[in-house]
Amino acid sequence: MNNFRFTHFLTSNAHLDRDLTDQILSHCSRKEVRKGTFLLRSGEKIQHSFFVEKGLLKQYAVDKKGKEHILQFAPENWLMADRESEYFDQASSYFIESIEDSEIFYINKDLILQLAKADERFIAFNNFLLHRHIRSLQKRITQLQSAPAEERYLDFIQTYPDLTLRVPQTHIASYLGITPESLSRVRKELADRHRSHS
């Protein structure tokens, strides 16, 4: 089974020993999903988080006019979850969809709770992930409220350094909260500025 990334993620980030890592892997299901597969649809409830071994996911909402608003992407080595649905047993407001053929580990909520009780290192690791996610969302909110489009785009590149070549410009614009036309203008201005300094 191909689980190199997930194993490395657990051993290097959580500092878990091999026995505990093997226990986690044995209780997680791994699935290969095709591009365009929905792992979650709005209105459904979910009991899993997702770790991307290979491929790319997006999490997004759709407004009443049918416009898509992307909350986040998850390339390799990223986790994705809808914590509101998973931990508060509520119908999700989001879709989670694969936008490339992907290999995904499904991590059950009950497993997380069991590990938190059994190993203090896992509690610390889980708390770190949670706080890092909250920090990221707070930054996103502030940027969407006040940051100029160029600053948002540069932060996107820093957060997802390889996604400009993997996702359509419309997806990036949706994530940034701007129009594709505005994104094109920002990219052109940055390219022109780079050429003038070369």
Mean pLDDT by 10 residues, the chain (198 residues): 74 71 82 97 94 96 95 94 90 97 92 77 81 89 93 95 94 96 95 79
In-domain check, residue 135: no
pLDDT, position 45: 94
DSSP tag of 165: G
What is the domain extent for residue 105? 4-118
In-domain check, residue 189: no
pLDDT, position 15: 66
- Give the CATH number of the domain where residue 51 resides: 2.60.120.10
pLDDT, position 195: 80
At 102, phi and psi to the nearest 5? -140, 155
The length of the chain in residues reads 198
In-domain check, residue 22: yes
In-domain check, residue 138: no
In-domain check, residue 165: no
In-domain check, residue 188: no
In-domain check, residue 167: no
In-domain check, residue 132: no
Measured CA to CA, the distance from residue 48 to residue 148 in angstroms comes to 35
pLDDT, position 198: 67
Of 144, 154, 146, 145, nearest in space to 176 by CA: 144
pLDDT, position 149: 95
Split into its structural domains, the chain has a count of 1
pLDDT, position 172: 97
